Structure 1
Amino acid sequence: MPQPWAGQGMPQPWAGQGMPSASSSGMLASHADRERTVDVLRAGFGEGRLEQPEFEKRVARAYASRTVGELALLVADLPHGPMPMTTAPAPLPGTFLPVPPARTNGKAVGAFVCGLLCVPTMGFTGIPAIVLGHTARAEIRRTGEPGDGFALTGVILGWLATGFWALVLVLGMVSAVVSGGG
């Protein structure tokens, strides 16, 4: 059966919903008219109403059309845009829902932040980093939460800061004893 859009003769007007009436079918088509027609064709192709070769022919013909009536014939057998849903979508079973990302252990994040703050606070946050880091690592082993890297980094930075300040304190005491004893 020959399609009305495939004919080489004069196009017949089509007075569908949202399309021009018979009196305006001879009106020259604008670029916007052609783009709207191609959008309807794309929607029809995306819904599986058109095969690839037919879609390509109609799009080429839409861009070559001179009148609004020719464009109307290209989409006469298609709904104008995606079909509306008639029913509400059914809820997805939990099997198909994405798995929410696991939350990183809060104490591990706290240990990491305290470890990083050891330098600007001159080691003041070193002991909290150590305590939080060890506590977080125990919780992570028990619960399987992510964040062990943060906790370990906090522990290491906390021990380095505490060790550095302990060394400074010991050296200061030694120098005080040596300088005061002589």
Structure 2
Amino acid sequence: MHMQPWSPYGGGSPMLASTADRERAVDILRAGFAEGRLAKAEFEERVARAYSARTQGDLSVLVADLPHGPVPTLPAPPAYAPAPVHPPRSYATATNGKAVAALVLGILTMVSGGVTSLPAVVLGHMARGEIRRTGQEGDGCALAGLVLGWLWVAGWGLVWLFTVLARLR
């Protein structure tokens, strides 16, 4: 495809160039230089000739081998990293049921007189093992159930120990 040299009135026009015509030609030269189409020395020479051009034909010769508008380019990469997309919750990331049960039983030891403390400890240990294996959530619940369960086991153990010692005296 043959492009016509730049000129608002057609190529090779003998019409005198205006200051605006010269500026448009220099803008095309600047774009060509910025895109790497012109070497610095050639760019400077063409700009000097554009400012001294008398006719639009003189200007059209200076920009005839350059695109006369924006050249499509690839979009620039984003200046920031986009937010990560998290996959939907699945069984692997769901909260472990034994961990929740351990926490509930650990809390219930306060009102059950320690009856639920051993099940809380057992379920807490089982839950932590499953969580390490499967990557599920709920380690905090399992740990809290373990702590509460062991506190009540130790507390009731001390109560029984003191009771036995008191009877032995």
Q: TM-score, normalised by structure 1?
A: 0.44
Greater Rg over alpha carbons, structure? 2
Q: TM-score, normalised by structure 2?
A: 0.47
